[in-house]
Amino acid sequence: MMARPGLGILGSGKGSNCRAILESIAKRVLRAEARIGISDVPDSGILHVAREFDVTAAYLPPGKFRTKLAAEAEIELGQILRDAGVDWVVLAGWMRVLKEPMLQAFPHRILNIHPSLLPKFPGLEAWKQALAAGETITGCTVHYVDAGVDSGEIIAQREVPILPDDTPETLHARIQIAERELYPTAIRQVCA
């Protein structure tokens, strides 16, 4: 029997995508093992979700920058993930751009989910960008992480219609539902 790939799940927020991944593992829909959950926010929801599923949870002090890790923190992150036996790094609401230390440590093995149909609307609050542009369809994208922002090779996408009465909040909520369905499926696809 082949060993299940080890996942390191990184997040900065509530942990809803982390929960969807861990539930898929628990239901044996996703043949993987979550080895560690890491956050750059001390009391983030993702850390609570990881503990709830008996996954090691770790806080990583990010350093002085708002949108990326300090160089020494990024090197430490790579070491923590390697020490935990991680094969795939899964960004689940991780709000910092990863740079060369991580990209070199896990080449073509870092996944992200983004709330738009990339390449449209990379960056922050993509659902607001889609509304402002007058789009009728948006969605979510799972992609490999590269040196750019939301620019890596696309793995899978799911469309979400934009309704005439949508607000940023209602649209974002529907995109998050699609994310929680798509991400475990896409992880299963790349880990197969």
For residue 68, count CB atoms less than 10 angstroms from its CB and return exposed for 0-12, middle for 13-18, buried for 19 or more. middle
Token digits of residue 58: 């770790």
Q: Is 172 a catalytic residue?
A: no
Q: Which of 108, 114, 143, 172 is catalytic?
A: 114
Helix axes 16-26, 45-52, angle to 10 degrees: 10
Token pair for 13: 């927020």
Active site residues: 114
